[in-house]
């Protein structure tokens, strides 16, 4: 029998808290990116395109994303004005853990979860060992706009997947490779930072790490 875990978005310890920094101090921001938002401040696509970018939500000079999150994915992004910290977070050589909540089509068995954990053969090679477990729909999860398309004849499920690499659309390709297409993808954690207490489309200042992330 497979154990089901229910993740929870915990409320912030201090409501509406805004941290201030002394001049020249590293700035670190966490942002809960909504669906259909480009993970950059400008749209280099078609001129006059109505596509939303980070600039629709974040009006902070000189901060840049530490890593990407696809337009059709949601959840945690980190932004900073410190180039070394940006590299530490985003560079795959540091193998920083990233945890995703993934809604998939179908009901995965233990064999599929084991395959995700051991490594999946993709076109660009075998994925590194990961952590995969079946979970209930995360408590307090915001609705996606627009909602996912579901087929009444096919069940869906949620899994929590933690990886330490960042290939292009890796999570979606991994779930598809074991027979369960991704319907909705939310990044919950990067290193020690999470989405807890952060509403979709909002951002918050964070204290920069003294020694860097530990996970």
Cis peptide bond upstream of 146, omega within 30: yes
Instruction: From 7, 2, 1, select the one nearest 136 (Cα to Cα).
Output: 7
Q: Catalytic residue among 70, 156, 196, 205, which?
A: 70
What are the angstrom distances between the C-alpha of 15 and each of 30, 186, 199, 201, 204? 15, 23, 12, 16, 11
Q: Is 72 a catalytic residue?
A: no
Look up residue 129 and give its two tokens.
């060992």
The torsion angle over the Cα atoms of residues 186, 187, 193 and 196, rounded to 10 degrees, is: 10
Q: Extract the runs of DSSP E, i.e. beta strands, from the chain.
A: 28-33, 64-65, 74-80, 98-105, 121-122, 125-126, 131-135, 156-163, 182-190, 193-194, 203-206
φ, ψ of residue 87 in degrees (nearest 5): -65, -40
Catalytic residues, which ones? 70
């Amino acid at each position: 029998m497979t154990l089901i875990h229910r993740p929870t978005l915990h409320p912030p310890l201090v409501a509406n808290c805004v941290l201030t920094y002394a001049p020249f101090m590293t700035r670190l921001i966490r942002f809960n990116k909504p669906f259909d938002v480009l993970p950059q401040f400008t749209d280099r696509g078609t001129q006059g395109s109505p596509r939303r970018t980070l600039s629709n939500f974040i009006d902070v000079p000189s901060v840049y994303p530490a890593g990407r999150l696809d337009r059709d994915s949601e959840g945690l992004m980190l932004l900073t004005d410190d180039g070394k910290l940006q590299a530490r977070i985003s560079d795959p050589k540091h193998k920083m853990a990233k945890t995703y909540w993934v809604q998939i089509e179908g009901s995965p068995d233990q064999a599929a979860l084991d395959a995700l954990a051991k490594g999946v053969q993709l076109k660009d090679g075998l994925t590194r060992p990961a952590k995969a477990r079946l979970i209930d729909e995360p408590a307090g999860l915001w609705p996606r706009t627009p909602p996912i398309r579901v087929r009444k004849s096919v069940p869906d499920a949620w899994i929590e997947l933690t990886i330490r690499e960042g290939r292009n659309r890796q999570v979606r390709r991994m779930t598809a490779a074991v027979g369960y297409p991704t319907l909705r993808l939310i990044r919950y954690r990067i290193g020690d930072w999470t989405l807890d207490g952060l509403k979709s489309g909002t951002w918050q200042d964070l204290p920069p790490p003294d020694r860097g992330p530990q996970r």
